[in-house]
Structure 1
């Protein structure tokens, strides 16, 4: 089955559950935009060899950018809501009532599975249509647009909320969740480069590196900066010149990511709570050692902080 047909079937099957609150890629409409290109639709003329196609570009990339941004926003909003239900028992009971007496865990797992499928299908739709654009126009503008999506943080497959969702899904399954549902996420924490893997259709895999770029160890109490890079909480604080008890979000707006050097990436950093829970469960001894080291460092920094405050107030 062609992807266009599969995507249409997916939209029809999930119309009420997914699409009443979330947008999706207008795959068919974007393909029609490509077909309407006067340079490329004429079978008698050769394929368009231009760097950009004014007939397509004005509609195509602006519409796709808008859709990608809306999809990323919808997804992060739904995941935050789902994980808040996981953290608060009362809200989970409300979900229990709302889901027609399904168990809260089952309802949460079904929502999680639905969101994972939502991400994969829309991400594939974007990739397919960009590949089609480059094929029709014999250009590299589709690949350039992928880079633009990454720089503007609307590439949904690189969202830290997808890592959080995957961690939550693996954690819930390890705690007696439903085993009949396929799990596209897996985790390898024993290798020298620990990683989380997402299996996409056609046996394509997407890997998320769980090694902190600063201490070169498995991330501990990880934070994801706006640019998408993962760090231990203590490492992120050290790089931003703030104390651990203040947290990465206390960093200056001028602070840069230690990896990509992007400015202003700390203010909306994501505390990866679900990933922390998963790593803590699977790496108990390592977690105990890092926790002890962090407590000692927080104690040292706290003492230094209050010593500085005392000197400032007293004057010596």
Structure 2
């Protein structure tokens, strides 16, 4: 079965009610835009004698309808995905696997339609647009919320819920690997690996927070990077504070605690978790004393 048919079948499957509340890639519509692009077709026919194929690179007719529409759809999908995962644990129980399948199917649709764009135009604009999606934090398979969903299912191992047991087999996590990694085995033979190393302390993420740019750090490391006290939290960071990795500003205000990932570390690496917790509390106490000393003595 071709992907277009599989995607249509997915959209009209058992999750039809779920999809009513979330947008999706208008795959067949975008495909028609490419197939009916007259200027590109004319150029392609004129290039039939050229073994390299059409080299028109881009087409205003396609680009005006194609990239703006795809960016809008990708942004809506990413927003829906993250908001549903962040909702509450009950939502993860009821919708977790549907959310993963939702992210996967739409990510494949985006990948295939961009590949088709480049094939028709003999360009790399589709590939470049994919990089733009990542820069705009709407690349679904790079979402930190997939890590949180994976941690949720791994934490559910041993649960009496047979459905959760079935899905948890698609995930694995190795904190002893170098680097520590979470692996997600999805349908269509897609394997995702997420590095669980904090880019600041270069150790396993502890008390992890996801900044709005999607990068994960230990809370203490992120607070240090933003020059705020642990007891004040990341939301106290200046709007001008930058992500230590991508250097984007304003990413601390909506930082979110990755509760399931933290719980997974606590369960799998008890000694390490306790050691880091003790160190974090000691650091918080030292910062608190410094804070009150500054107020009391004015320095």
Give the Å deviation of 1:17. 2.7
Would the aligned equivalents of 2:154 and 2:168 in 1 still touch at CA under 8 Å? no
- Structure 2 distance, partners of 1:156, 1:33, is 23
Cα 1:6–1:201 change in 2 (3 A) is same
- Structure 2 distance, partners of 1:297, 1:194, is 25
97, 121, 124: which one aligns with 2:105 = 121
**Aligned residue number for residue 135 of structure 1:** 119
- Structure 1 distance, partners of 2:257, 2:157, is 22
- Structure 1 distance, partners of 2:95, 2:202, is 34
SS of the equivalent of 1:29 reads: helix
- Structure 1 distance, partners of 2:132, 2:73, is 14
253, 259, 265: which one aligns with 1:267 = 253
SS of the equivalent of 1:17 reads: helix
Would the aligned equivalents of 1:39 and 1:48 in 2 still touch at CA under 8 Å? no
Deviating beyond 4 angstroms after TM superposition, the runs of 4 or more aligned structure 1 residues are none
- Structure 1 distance, partners of 2:154, 2:104, is 17
49, 58, 62: which one aligns with 2:64 = 58
Cα 1:177–1:189 change in 2 (3 A) is farther
Q: Could you tell me which runs of 5 or more consecutive residues in structure 1 were left unpaired when the two chains were aligned.
A: 87-107
- Structure 1 distance, partners of 2:99, 2:269, is 27
Cα 1:31–1:113 change in 2 (3 A) is same
Give the Å deviation of 1:191. 0.8
Q: How many residues align?
A: 291
**Aligned residue number for residue 111 of structure 1:** 95
Matches within 5 A, 1:1-316: 1-14=1-14, 16-42=16-42, 44-46=45-47, 47-83=53-89, 85=90, 109-178=93-162, 179-181=165-167, 183-312=169-298
> Structure 2 length as normaliser, TM-score?
0.91
Cα 1:142–1:56 change in 2 (3 A) is same
Cα 1:8–1:62 change in 2 (3 A) is same
Would the aligned equivalents of 1:160 and 1:270 in 2 still touch at CA under 8 Å? no
Cα root mean square deviation, aligned? 1.8
> Structure 1 length as normaliser, TM-score?
0.87
